[in-house]
Structure 1
């Protein structure tokens, strides 16, 4: 299916926004070392400050999804772009670590808006959702890769406050582009269940009783399984991506190879990790194309089983030499990011349009919020057990996700998903 003009407009807008959000997200850790020296504080203090940005990034997805249903996803995405950019600009005038904390807290709250709002916009406004979900995911990976690279490079020649302002420029330009862009945010709803969504995306959802009623209806449907599936994706995803760079750097096969001049701070493991992210772009594109040809539940089962096999394969592969490790990381990156278009499409398939923002809000609460629990228990496993136990646990998580996906495959069809009845607050 060829993308329509409306599809292209929404794709361009959401791809820019997705890249910008992750551009900011991955720039923050690079500033950590700078702030240690600039404000003469401990690593523990800076860690708490950085956490103030990352915690609301996950927890804020649920209220952000509710707001996207009420006020329209485009408005929320523009607010996210403008707010996160301004938050980075305010870093330039921070006179203390407390001011930095305030800026990062604002960034985290505003950044949490993007995923539920942006994905709701794609799910209701785009006809060829699979393709756009794929390109959207690729754009996010570009931001993940370029954010820390641009930050580290700029810090070589500019003072950190100027770097913070420079990093805000792409976000501000994307904001201006979004304000001028015109598209139909409901064009993808033809053939879906009837919805009272208007051109601005205002579904008539209201706070309070409407939120409780629509949430109850969502979790009484197949969305409960989708939410559980996404949570197990998040547990695997966060566990792998948090600890893999350190694990790769400690492998014997990575020793004795010097990085290029000027990049001495990067290990060979870091380059392999970047290769994993690049392979992830290919995985997202391929899986996005498959979502229009393969049942999403079937695709989820296949990728989860592949991830389970890859987890138990890490220890034996790590002893086979550099070439085997690089190949392993390419396959892992492809598979790890290939699951993203499938679960994003599953939300669109198994939820009604008028609750799409709320649905994606819950989705990313599971992905980024509950999924982050694997960072804590993964650290305990690596500290008190072995690498094999850590990856064995990840394999079990992937198999549980596969089992849940099988249940989704054999359960009620998407057309049987119950659409929330209007509540008193909607009248």
Structure 2
């Protein structure tokens, strides 16, 4: 990587890690809030949902803002906004103040993914490598956020913990202000001028029509199915692991009775995901995104079905499957991120990633409700079959891209993608 690539990589890795650092610490606070405030679990669940909802729904306006105001400026606002939101939480003395802090966090966090990925796609020459390191940084945040929050809560009140968690965000903001890089170093000079223009409502509509009258329409649905798979599995897998016979039969040494092995298996899965992110990112330089998506979706479908027999097996078999699952679950992410960059023009890249994460985090969250219904009214096997179905749908749609069928569907709309040439 050259100096510009390294500078963008450092800036976006810090942003990505911190988005997930804050995101995954919130459920840890929920346990404490339920004990402190005299409200129902359902009501507090609604409050927390108010914070997570803008995280996905705000991705589209975040993409529009990235194209209008510039990616660096938006990422700095994201870092400052998330940190300030956690300071609001630190000062909260009621459920209403907590709701305000969470909503502010969700709004601030929502702009990161379209802005950060747009910056990488237009500013970085060695895009695959930076996508890989960017994904690894996100996994570091996913793992460290709940770990640090839970550890600090052993000795400190939750208000102090919330304030401490805000500190890295402010430090990253200061680092970002001093970071120097060319945000359009990997594309034509005309892109910077086009991106700086205000996007009117009519231009938003016309740009959106152009995007969805191209191969991006398929990419959007592919990403949505990946989000359905991702959210469904990661939401319910911890609960599923807790209820397995192998966990109940595990005898822990004296003094360690309070440790939940299922939780550590789940954290280990996320850590293995770092390797998957790296390998997947490096492979995007060698494998066309559509072809990579076909293969990885197929593997994810097989792994989901493999959970059906393995959940009744030994602890070793469960750990092994979770490790393999974690690797491939995160290995697919650089491929769909790169697919967006390949199948969209640079001057609408922020808008493209806005739609992408609307599908990933917004529409993908529907699997939480769907899969929960299946788990409650049917069986564990039906749940995994449902999840595998999401992956198979993604594989079939990716195959249409790999086969070049999009060129026939949108032959009269815009330039053809060159991804598979």
Q: What TM-score, normalized by structure 1, do the two folds share?
A: 0.93
Counterpart of 2:300 in structure 1 is 307
1:197 and 2:211 are equivalent in the alignment: no
SS in 2 for 1:304: helix
Unpaired runs of 5+ residues, structure 2, are: 417-421
- Structure 1 residues 89 and 232: CA distance shift in structure 2, 3 A: same
Following the alignment from structure 2 to structure 1, what is the Cα–Cα distance between the partners of residues 386 and 171?
43
SS in 2 for 1:189: coil
- Structure 1 residues 61 and 265: CA distance shift in structure 2, 3 A: farther
Q: How does 1:35-114 map to 2 (within 5 A)?
A: 35-114=33-112
Counterpart of 1:352 in structure 2 is 345
Q: Is the 8 A contact 1:223 1:350 kept in 2?
A: yes
1:21 and 2:28 are equivalent in the alignment: no
The Cα of 1:257 is off from its aligned counterpart by 2.6
Unpaired runs of 5+ residues, structure 1, are: 421-427
Counterpart of 2:419 in structure 1 is none
Following the alignment from structure 2 to structure 1, what is the Cα–Cα distance between the partners of residues 388 and 313?
20
SS in 2 for 1:187: coil
Counterpart of 1:393 in structure 2 is 386
The Cα of 1:258 is off from its aligned counterpart by 4.8
Counterpart of 2:119 in structure 1 is 121
Moved more, 359-368 or 32-41: 32-41
Following the alignment from structure 2 to structure 1, what is the Cα–Cα distance between the partners of residues 148 and 190?
43
Q: What is the CA RMSD across the aligned residues, in angstroms?
A: 1.8
Following the alignment from structure 1 to structure 2, what is the Cα–Cα distance between the partners of residues 76 and 262?
48
Q: Is the 8 A contact 1:259 1:267 kept in 2?
A: no
- Structure 1 residues 69 and 39: CA distance shift in structure 2, 3 A: same
The Cα of 1:320 is off from its aligned counterpart by 2.6
The Cα of 1:64 is off from its aligned counterpart by 0.5
The Cα of 1:262 is off from its aligned counterpart by 7.2
327, 342, 366: which one pairs with 2:335?
Answer: 342
Q: What do residues 247-289 of structure 1 show as CA deviations (whole Å, max 9, x unaligned)? A: 1111111123355777655411111111111111111111100
Counterpart of 2:153 in structure 1 is 155
1:316 and 2:309 are equivalent in the alignment: yes
396, 414, 419: which one pairs with 1:418?
Answer: 414
Following the alignment from structure 2 to structure 1, what is the Cα–Cα distance between the partners of residues 415 and 205?
14
Following the alignment from structure 1 to structure 2, what is the Cα–Cα distance between the partners of residues 301 and 150?
37
Q: Is the 8 A contact 1:205 1:211 kept in 2?
A: no
Q: What do residues 10-62 of structure 1 show as CA deviations (whole Å, max 9, x unaligned)? A: 00110011010100001111111211232222212211111110000000000
221, 226, 237: which one pairs with 1:233?
Answer: 226
The Cα of 1:195 is off from its aligned counterpart by 3.4
Q: Is the 8 A contact 1:15 1:135 kept in 2?
A: yes
SS in 2 for 1:196: helix
The Cα of 1:410 is off from its aligned counterpart by 1.5
- Structure 1 residues 34 and 320: CA distance shift in structure 2, 3 A: closer
Following the alignment from structure 2 to structure 1, what is the Cα–Cα distance between the partners of residues 259 and 75?
34
The Cα of 1:316 is off from its aligned counterpart by 1.0
- Structure 1 residues 11 and 264: CA distance shift in structure 2, 3 A: farther
Counterpart of 1:218 in structure 2 is 211
Q: Which aligned segments of 4 or more residues in structure 1 are displaced greater than 6 angstroms?
A: 260-263
390, 393, 399: which one pairs with 1:406?
Answer: 399
- Structure 1 residues 53 and 352: CA distance shift in structure 2, 3 A: same
Q: What TM-score, normalized by structure 2, do the two folds share?
A: 0.94
Following the alignment from structure 1 to structure 2, what is the Cα–Cα distance between the partners of residues 366 and 269?
30
Residues matched between the structures, number: 412
Q: How does 1:165-184 map to 2 (within 5 A)?
A: 165-184=163-182
